[in-house]
Structure 1
């Protein structure tokens, strides 16, 4: 058995984690001896995946690692940028998401959801950014990152809940001494999207090496890249017709006119024109591909050995981030309003149309219109006391182009600090006790929004001077004129800023004893390793909205933002064992087994909630028959407890995506069962007039549920590591993973909600709860409109879901001195066999690998790899990164739904040329495989000065256009998928690093 000094044990216990396949991007196989040497030398050993600290004990879990050198060559500015290049990580909310970005960036490991993986900093949890319990990647101090470890599969036994799909661990530089300063600048080939980053890191050892302090400060700032600045996204393209399209909330205004349906004001603002002449609103030029971002951050850590047996340590991190999302102007989005016939801005032709087609007596059946004489008398009645006074109800849609874009500024202030002590009980057993506390506050300030209540008030006017109800300086609104008819004074009255504050906190205390007792198996040399510990965590989170945000009064804000508050406590106890069974025997160079278990008790801050208890466990092992091969495997039972949003958020109506409404168009007029269903949902008065939203957005109602409990997962992995002696410098790993989540806390997809009602139309469907729970706009029959009156689809939260994914990770590395230079070749690849989601036992078991649609939101290709080739000369390095993304196509299940709706609507030849635009344009049903190349040159000018030049997307590849209504708004934007495919084009990056 190899022994360690107390100082080595102190250093080796820097953070809870596991020894995986590798500590660097090269081979993970023969690393036991080098790590032991490093530990004896006093270097910090941080491993990812286990609590056992003995660095001699190789583990069974594969870990994919990205090093600081790779980060420098790629010139990544944020943690999100780093993770985006790793195969097997599916794009989540980040800088390329504009409409749907809450000011933070997240990671989605294996496509199982960004709330099912855990992000760590040096093995520690950090305070989450929002009510879903996710950590904001913008808070990672990139300048100090030594490497990034990605561990796949259930890790709840080691780290607690949330680690169902795995762990991403950012490991920072330890024992840093000296001064390092970095400055970098990036700009696109188009001259926009400038990105500036500056970092300074200082560190020093003191008291003869007994202590070390590190402090770093950083600044980042990026400019927006507008969709109007790229030729493929200047115009909004409809994914069905292939024609230039956009939003139905356009300019001039649109109004409902009874049996005539919806009509739009003519371009000159004098009359109305029919549906065929509508001008859709092109919102693309206002939206952005790169959100503006500014960040100030600080990071500090210190440690000091009080004695040979005790070391104290601390860590503090602070950042302030500002993210701006910019979307097209606000307005009135299908708002039900009342308008006097004597409104001063109505032209004679418009007044006549309203009088002849609108209902002036809802108490009687049919449309009770006005005669010509009644209309003329009402036009002269300017007082509500006049017996001839009349007003009509209409659905009003108008884009506030005169006002400018809607802007949401998200300012996040984050801090998290930790204090602990560790030491050695014996030469082979150490202890570690620490406490940490963190807070995050995100303030969202919304500007540029019309208020629905003021729009209604401003339309109730019979003169241009004042509104009929004028207690707040009301300015009458000219909604009936041409584009430009709305003045600054009108907009000033109609708008007001609003604010939403999201606050979270995390307090945690934990203690751990790990090491070995010196016991060994009869045929092994290394001792049995163990770890035992306990942990307490307390989560608190709230969303506090002003009255405007709570009311849902903001035009185009996607619904109300209710107040939410909640929290829970977690008490845990856990233990792990690593048992070397056979070592240094023929065909058994090493045979090691390991296992662990964790007990967790949750106490929910809600009256009547009993809380819950969970057990997680894992078993695994590795077998090294000869020096060149290692076989490894692991099986884990993991859980994920519901987060605060899933528990405490009230039901609320917002937006989701759906392009085809089965009740739209003429289909209900020829199908009695369909008509009955549409009528039961509140659309009976509008059969034949119901519309599909041109922007592909509809309303949906969802919320939390205190009845949901923890979801469970079973995951297993098996793989091998190869490091043959006959190929010096070569190593390879291949690992198969399989993860299944049952009792998953999920909501149905839009396609699931539609299918549950409309797939089996029958006479009973009109009373089927799956149908009647869908609620339509009472003023139009549409699934879109004002959130206070139109519930849309109901996407309820439950424990009925099932998620499953499996695949293979492959890494290849080769390093060789070729005389005039050193050659390094590396490849990280992933094959995803399946990625399935079933919202309930009766729902479709939906496959999303290689597919995209509103149901498969973020693209997960079947094959993906990153390959880097580097030649290192004495004073110069040249490196080429080749990134491959496999081809993907439109989801077959979504295609079948479209086809059924098209046939029901009587579309001609829907699977052929489809002149009706009932099916996704064939041109948009596939995205071919993509290859990106990044070229880097790094110049070591002096021992203290390095210059790095990078050309990203060197071939200036453009993303495949698929239109803007084929998928989820968060990921399908600007006619493309900018989170997966590079929408910015070729970029140039330059950085200078000083080190002393």
Structure 2
């Protein structure tokens, strides 16, 4: 640690000395790395690459970088730019509105957060013109919705560790959104879309204007955008749902050779129905329908725990209660002005405001056979009352209370002011940039759900002395306002009863980020092989959060939500230096050989000093081929949630080993740990770039990556905490709470630097362009082969996620072996057509499962046996047609999932999850055929 600090500050000191001598402030940070299909064949000079801060052609960068150009963005015409970026093979497991429709307690509804390598969205650094974008949640997720999308001309994706270049969170890579800051004229888009089923109707309107002033010394521009989509209630008119779930095999024993788990379709719940079902006593199997009519439940062929196969599964299944696409609106305003104070100094300012609202109806509330009804309950149907001799248990989905309604509102206000310019010093021209940036993000999250103490009181209803039905609690407290609730049936409760039980759990957070940075770039001297490029700078950043919440959440009163206010702050000061040193040029052994190195010294107010570094080589033995290698040390510092979270609460169902594995619905409480230290990653990258001169227009690359993380911040989960306590590790027992009867009620879980992680894989990219039939044909192909993605916390069984197309824990950790996308485009002056194929390879429900139907080994916690662990591959075809109507005006039509391919049904279970619809929206297309059409103009 001391040695790292000494080396880091020594290198930083030499950088600062050079900075003082030449008086610069910041290198231009706009990025344009590995050239896109449209740019590949066009001549041009050096460009600045996101993978490095010094001027180098993209293919000469030691860190592989993929570019999405403006033409590709226009051809795809996405409702949200994140929808397109997430189709890149190197991204997997990103947070998106469709993937998190059930995550009410997590507060992530509506978020679009990118995830490189499936290592975590909080380990992917998001930049806007090379400047860090402020987080949209206390968990460090950056919502791409805050980007002024109408002004984006290019997206650069750096698929490698870049902490030494760009700072913390660039552990798996960087996504840099590059704006068109010099736009002059007026342009706009009017776009609308709808699915093949007539739902999720969406519109996107944008207008951008820019002009020079003061005789060309200044430039001003403004952009506004409005987007809206209606969402989809449930799955709409789609017919693919089949109730696929995983249940525990009731016939399994450790020695009979049967699988412990069964994946099957037509699975519903045996211990809950929309209007309630009796689960104990002589009336077991009596359920209550519309108007409270008692009927006999058909349990089906296999019953295991809360689940069953067949019978009345469809009636007793709430898998369709959640929306597959939330409704949302988004508004974005961006303005920029710059002015040349002198021929060498420019002042500039930017201001932006973004706001987004997302709403959805999530799941019905559940209670799996855990509601105790006393024999004097006033709502017991008279036809059954004589058969009731004591307390009995019921389960219900409480349909009369309706589905949980969740809403999030987010806004981000950002301002930047800075100076930049150039001057001559040390025999070369230097460019510099100094700026201050402040972002204020306000979030509001709520959930309309049950207040659990009120539900319990309202359900326990009796007759008073006057023969009226009242809450039992009212007999001793006549003014408590309790309104009786009838659990026996659907359509049997008053609005007054619903209003008494339902409440709104909410939280407000105000996140602030302040950044002050100065960087410079130049070529102070030369070696025998050419000029040495140098970039250096300093940065100070402050992050903080303050929050508030409703008065009932601290007592964990709600079924879901129970948001708590979080307050905390930290600051970080850092400096970096990066250099590209030519080692050979036009030599017998090398057409070109360059060394690229960077080091960053960082001091956190919470966790102290840390040094990150990168070293790389690019070697072109001939002009047609380039080899590149990088080695880096990267970090991710703990975010505000991991450090300071007061105790976020969610509802989950876990099996209690102290009570024979009985399943209980509990409150899982997540809280921060101020003693966390940064994660550290060692990254190796090896690659080769081919640009054969004998095939003009062809370029390609293959890159290997290896990422090892130590001190990874992780929470082991409620089930693991229970198991460790059960195994006698008493340190894990303190956060477990039970009621007076010993029934499990809650578990507290805090993150620790406990885990390690190892990821390996291969990236492939190729592009080709040539004239044909009076136009140009462009081909582009990208693919990623994931080789390893293994997390080990030393407690729960370590599992390699590669090959997991779905998972027992969460669909959001999916990672198929292959992901790919290929696009063919034919473009003429007035017409262009593109066809895209995208998809992934076949895999497993869970890579840790062992598939067998007979002769199975003993099932273990680490490797459970299952009858069918397969999940198929999928390929989708998209198309775009663009027609130029007249100069500056064009119309377009884009179609996604042309074949209207249905998603594969991913079984989940045996415990209930936050996204009960049996699909994996991270991988499989859940929308069906989607049309978008519109008009663009540029005048």
Interval containing the TM-score (normalised by the shorter chain): 0.7 to 0.9
**1:207 equivalent in alignment to 2:214:** yes
CA distance in 2, matches of 1:900, 1:561: 48
CA RMSD of superposed structures (Å): 3.4
Match of 2:68 among 41, 66, 69: 66
- Which residue pairs with 2:19 in the alignment? none
| 1:847 paired residue among 785, 800, 810 | 800
Which one has a larger percent strand, Structure 1 or Structure 2?
2
Q: How does 1:784-933 map to 2 (within 5 A)?
A: 790-791=745-746, 795-840=749-794, 842-851=795-804, 852-855=806-809, 857-858=811-812, 859-895=814-850, 920=866, 922=868, 925-933=869-877
Within 2, Cα distance between the matches of 1:60 and 1:590?
Answer: 13
Distance (Å, rounded) in 2 between the aligned partners of 1:537 and 1:209:
34
Q: Does residue 946 in structure 1 map to residue 890 in structure 2?
A: yes
Shift, 1:269, TM fit: 4.6
Give the 5 Å matches for 1:590-601.
590-601=592-603
Alignment-derived partner of residue 430 in structure 1: 431
Q: Is it true that 1:160 corresponds to 2:167 in the alignment?
A: yes
Alignment of 1:666-681 (within 5 A): 678=657, 681=658
Relative to structure 1, is the Cα distance of residues 222 and 274 closer, same or farther in structure 2, using a 3 angstrom cutoff? closer
Q: What SS does the corresponding residue of 2:190 show, helix, strand or coil?
A: strand
Q: Alpha carbons of 1:477 and 1:91: their partners in 2 closer, same or farther (altered >3 Å)?
A: same
Contact kept, 8 Å, 1:560 with 1:654, in 2: the verdict is yes
Counterpart in 2 of 1:908?
Answer: none
- Determine which of 407, 410, 415 is the counterpart of 1:409: 407
CA–CA separation in structure 1 for the residues paired with 2:682 and 2:187: 45
SS in 1 for 2:778: strand
Equivalent residue for 1:545, pick from 523, 526, 549: 549
Q: 1:319 aligns with which of 343, 354, 357?
A: 354
State the Cα distance separating 1:845 from its structure 2 match: 2.7
Query: Which whole-Å CA distance do the structure 2 matches of 1:569 and 1:728 have between them?
Result: 50
Deviation at 1:881, TM superposition (A): 0.6
1:93 aligned residue: 95
Shift of 1:887: 0.9
Distance 1:749 1:233 in 2: 32
Once the 2 structures are TM-superposed, how far is the Cα of residue 148 of structure 1 from its aligned partner? 0.8
Deviation at 1:255, TM superposition (A): 5.8
**What's the CA shift string for 1:430-463, capped at 9, x where partnerless?**
2211000001111123225354335425525433
> Separation in 1 of the partners of 2:139 and 2:618?
36
| 1:326-345 mapped onto 2 (5 Å cutoff) | 326-330=361-365, 341-345=375-379
Deviation at 1:350, TM superposition (A): 5.5
Q: Residues 641, 317 of structure 1: CA spacing in aligned structure 2 closer, same or farther, 3 A cutoff?
A: same
Give the direction of change, closer, same or farther, for the CA distance of 1:334–1:414 in structure 2 (3 Å limit): farther
Per mean C-alpha deviation after superposition, the further-off stretch among 771-780 and 502-511 is: 771-780
Q: Quick one: distance in 1 between partners of 2:678 and 2:359?
A: 35
Give the number of equivalent residue pairs.
Answer: 870
Equivalent positions of 1:636-647 (< 5 A) are 636-647=632-643
Q: Is the 8 A contact 2:666 2:746 kept in 1?
A: no
Distance (Å, rounded) in 1 between the aligned partners of 2:489 and 2:720:
41
Q: Helix, strand or coil for the counterpart of 2:848?
A: helix
Cα deviation digits, residues 539-572 of structure 1 (max 9, x gap):
01234211123332223x1x53222211101011
The 8 Å contact of residues 153 and 178 in structure 2, kept in 1 or not, is answered as yes
Give the match's secondary structure for 1:767: coil
Partner of 2:255: none
1:192-271 matched pairs, under 5 angstroms: 192-234=199-241, 236-240=243-247, 241-246=264-269, 248-254=271-277, 257=280, 265-267=287-289, 269=292
Q: Which residue of 1 aligns with 2:417?
A: 419
Quick check: 1:408–1:445 contact (8 Å CA) kept in 2? yes
For 2:732 and 2:602, locate their aligned partners in 1 and report how far apart those are by CA, in whole Å. Answer: 40
Structure 1 residues 218 and 750, CA, compared in 2 at 3 Å: closer, same or farther? same
CA contact (8 A) 2:205 2:226 kept: yes
Change (3 A) 1:779 1:886: farther
> Quick one: distance in 2 between partners of 1:270 and 1:799?
55
Q: Which residue of 2 aligns with 1:147?
A: 154
What is aligned with 1:441?
Answer: 442
Residue in structure 2 matched with residue 300 of structure 1 by the alignment: 335
CA distance in 1, matches of 2:910, 2:54: 48
Alignment of 1:279-678 (within 5 A): 281-330=316-365, 341-347=375-381, 355-356=389-390, 358=391, 397-426=395-424, 428-457=429-458, 459-463=460-464, 464-466=468-470, 467-468=474-475, 469-479=477-487, 481-517=488-524, 519-522=525-528, 524-525=529-530, 527-555=531-559, 557=560, 560-604=562-606, 611-651=607-647, 653-656=649-652, 661=655, 678=657
Contact 1:721 1:731 in 2 (8 A): yes
**Map of 1:985 onto structure 2:** 928
Q: 1:897 to 1:700 in 2, by over 3 A?
A: farther
| Cα distance change, pair 325–875 in 1 and its aligned pair in 2 (3 A) | same
Tell whether the 8 Å contact from 1:107 to 1:114 is kept in structure 2 after alignment. Answer: yes
8 Å CA contact retained: 1:746, 1:797: yes
Give CA deviations for 1:509-549 in whole Å, capped at 9, x if unaligned.
011122121x1112x13x11112211111001234211123
For residue 931 of structure 1, report the CA deviation from its aligned partner.
Answer: 1.1
Confirm or deny: 8 A CA contact 1:17 1:52 kept in the other structure. no
1:656–1:902: structure 2 CA closer, same or farther, 3 Å change rule? farther
Name the CA distance, whole Å, in 2 between partners of 1:61 and 1:542.
38
Structure 1 unaligned spans of 5+: 1-8, 37-44, 359-393, 605-610, 664-677, 758-764, 783-788, 906-910, 912-917
Deviations 1:688-709 (A, max 9, x none): xx6558xxx8754443212221
Which of the numbers 650, 672, 679 marks the counterpart of 1:711?
Answer: 679
**Which stretch shows the higher mean deviation, 230-239 or 104-113?**
230-239
Query: What is the alpha-carbon distance in structure 2 between the residues aligned to residue 202 and residue 56 of structure 1?
Result: 30
Match of 1:381 in 2: none
Are 2:145 and 1:138 equivalent residues in the alignment?
A: yes
CA contact (8 A) 2:186 2:208 kept: yes
Shift of 1:262: 7.3
Deviations 1:361-400 (A, max 9, x none): xxxxxxxxxxxxxxxxxxxxxxxxxxxxxxxxx7664333
Q: 1:496 to 1:302 in 2, by over 3 A?
A: same
Aligned counterpart, 2:192? 185
Shift of 1:296: 1.2
For residues 199 and 90 of structure 1, what CA distance do their matches in structure 2 show? 29
Length-normalised TM-score, structure 2? 0.86
The 3 A distance-change label for structure 1 pair 773 and 231 is: farther
Offset of residue 236 of structure 1: 3.4
Query: Could you state the TM-score of these two structures normalised by the residue count of structure 1?
Result: 0.81
C-alpha displacement at 1:495, in angstroms?
A: 1.9
From the superposition, tell whether residues 772 and 12 of structure 1 become closer, same or farther in structure 2 (CA, over 3 Å): closer
Distance 1:264 1:542, change over 3 A: farther
Contact 2:457/2:482 (<8 A) preserved:
no
SS of equivalent residue, structure 1 residue 428: strand
* Structure 1 residue 796, shift from structure 2 partner: 4.3
Task: Tell me how far apart the structure 1 counterparts of residues 439 and 565 of structure 2 sit (CA, whole Å).
Answer: 22
The answer as to 2:937 corresponding to 1:994 is yes
Deviation at 1:424, TM superposition (A): 1.7
**Residue 824 to residue 334, structure 1, CA distance change in 2 (3 Å):** same
Q: Is the 8 A contact 1:255 1:262 kept in 2?
A: yes
Equivalent of 1:170, from 150, 157, 177? 177
Unpaired stretches in structure 2, ≥5 consecutive residues: 1-21, 248-263, 301-311
Residues 969 and 168 from structure 1, CA distance in 2 versus in 1: closer, same or farther, beyond 3 angstroms? farther
1:744 maps to which of 680, 690, 712:
712
Q: Distance in 2 between matches of 1:895 and 1:77?
A: 40
Higher mean C-alpha deviation, range 494-503 or range 308-317:
494-503
Correspondence for 2:250: none
| SS of structure 2 residue aligned to 1:225 | coil
